[in-house]
Structure 1
Amino acid sequence: MIKVLIVEDDPMVAELNKHYLEQVEGFALAGIVSNGAEALEFLKENEVTLILLDIFMPIVDGMELLHHIRLLDQSIDIIMITAARDSVNIQNSLRQGVVDYLVKPFQFERLYAALISYRERIQLIQDSTVLNQNEIDRRILSKGELPVGDLPKGLERDTLNRILAQAKLFPASFTTEEMAKCVGISRVSVRKYLTFLKDTGTLQGKLNYQAVGRPVTTFCYLKR
């Protein structure tokens, strides 16, 4: 179980982050604190794997806390969830090894995708002693999983991330209809996203012939 500390000075945002976290399997809330000073005290007595961290907080802000954690050489990962969208804070966060950076306000699907990706990364590292280049690129560095830049006309990145996150949750292959029921959009729209993910090598598609009726295409996420 991945133990998570939420560091957020706005009680409503902290509660929302807690609610979102509870929707994702494999994560457990370790605690909620309102600034970096409280977080440092919490970390002295509690085991934490991941911190959901705001930047703008009183006493000790998020960047100061991140710096302290790195100086202490603690094995804690950080996902920034903040209103700070300036290049200086983003660059400094990335330089100190944050695994993701979410700008408020954000949609649940974006945090969901971040947590799923992080969970898979941790699981892969724990289960493997040696990784090949494909595994490092696609599942550690997230290179090649989804293309950057503009998507084809009619596709939205938030929806694409949502569908990809759901695809990772299926224990086996799934159909377009099953995905449509999970994400709550039409089969026609879902088919466009699944076709795109198949064409980019993120999903594998297989045509299955049945005794009666038209053949059905099933998809599965390629865990490389």
Structure 2
Amino acid sequence: MIRVLLVEDEQRVAALHAKYVESISGFSLAASAGTVEEAISVIENQEIDLILLDIFMPGPHGLSLLTYVREKEKEIDVIVISAASDMERVQKAIRYGAVDYLIKPFQFDRFEEALKEYHDKRAFMTQSRQVSQEELDRQLLGRGEQDMPKDIPKGLTKATLNQVWEEIQKIEDAFSTEDIVKRVGISGVSARKYLKFLADIEVLDVRVVYGTVGRPVYQHTRNLSKEYIMKNFL
């Protein structure tokens, strides 16, 4: 669970953003602060993973908190949420290490997108394994996504794809085509088509397991670092 500190001085706005945070899976609101001083007190006394930071507040402005976090080498990420839209402040926030910048007012979809992309990148960065240059480019630079399918292939439906994906997300270990047939209630032929599509867009990794008798079994596992791609198809 990603622990969020919301730094916003307007109570009505803070309440709305808090509601947004709690509605997104994988995130919990750890604390709220109305000033930079309050925010510093929180991060010195609680475990915080992500700060949602306004810039215009009473006392020191929000960017001073971003500077504090970097100077103290806190392992905390920051997404700026502010009415400030001038390029000088945007550039300063990015240079100080903000991972995203939302300009008020914004739609919930943009807020949700920011948090989900952060969730996926955090999952990618915390994996204890070697990564390829291609994987790194796709996560950090968004390269390679232009080669991905833009639409669901003919013969597949968004509704069934959503069902398949929901069931896959419940599975922690490797699974077979037969597992999806049982969980979703579709035919083996259909299950293979949906799993092939998910493998083609790289949200599933596939390996072949050869038994002593019969056909080889295809084992699928979720590729956590690529799950953000699914938002393009659901």
Of 146, 157, 176, the match for 1:175 = 157
The alpha-carbon deviation at position 175 of structure 1 amounts to: 2.6
Instruction: Return the TM-score normalized by structure 1.
Output: 0.67
Quick one: which amino acid aligns to residue 116 of structure 1? K
Give the conservation status (yes or no) of the 8 Å contact 1:18–1:29.
yes
The answer for the alignment partner of 1:78 in structure 2 is 78
Moved over 4 A (4+): 178-181, 215-219
Structure 2: which 5+ residue stretches go unaligned? 164-187, 204-225, 227-234
Give the conservation status (yes or no) of the 8 Å contact 1:175–1:216.
no
Larger Rg: 2
The answer for the alignment partner of 2:94 in structure 1 is 94
Query: What is the rounded CA distance, in whole Å, between the counterparts of 2:124 and 2:131 in structure 1?
Result: 9
Give the conservation status (yes or no) of the 8 Å contact 1:176–1:218.
no
CA separation of 1:80 and 1:179: change in aligned 2, threshold 3 A:
farther
Query: What is the rounded CA distance, in whole Å, between the counterparts of 1:102 and 1:146 in structure 2?
Result: 24
RMSD: 2.9
CA deviation vs aligned residue, 1:22-66 (integer Å, no higher than 9, x gap):
111111111000011110011111010000000001112111111
Query: What is the rounded CA distance, in whole Å, between the counterparts of 1:52 and 1:83 in structure 2?
Result: 13
The answer for the alignment partner of 2:47 in structure 1 is 47
SS in 2 for 1:31: strand
Percent identity for Structure 1 against Structure 2? 38
Of 190, 202, 209, the match for 1:222 = 202
The alpha-carbon deviation at position 92 of structure 1 amounts to: 0.3
Pairwise mapping of residues 67-216 of structure 1 onto structure 2 (< 5 A)? 67-145=67-145, 175-177=157-159
Structure 1: which 5+ residue stretches go unaligned? 148-159, 168-173, 182-207
1:24 aligned onto 2:24:
yes
CA deviation vs aligned residue, 1:48-99 (integer Å, no higher than 9, x gap):
0000000001112111111111111111100011000001000001101111
CA separation of 1:22 and 1:72: change in aligned 2, threshold 3 A:
same
Q: Work out the number of aligned pairs and report it.
A: 171
Query: What is the rounded CA distance, in whole Å, between the counterparts of 1:134 and 1:4 in structure 2?
Result: 30
Query: What is the rounded CA distance, in whole Å, between the counterparts of 2:12 and 2:119 in structure 1?
Result: 25
The answer for the alignment partner of 1:192 in structure 2 is none
The alpha-carbon deviation at position 178 of structure 1 amounts to: 5.1
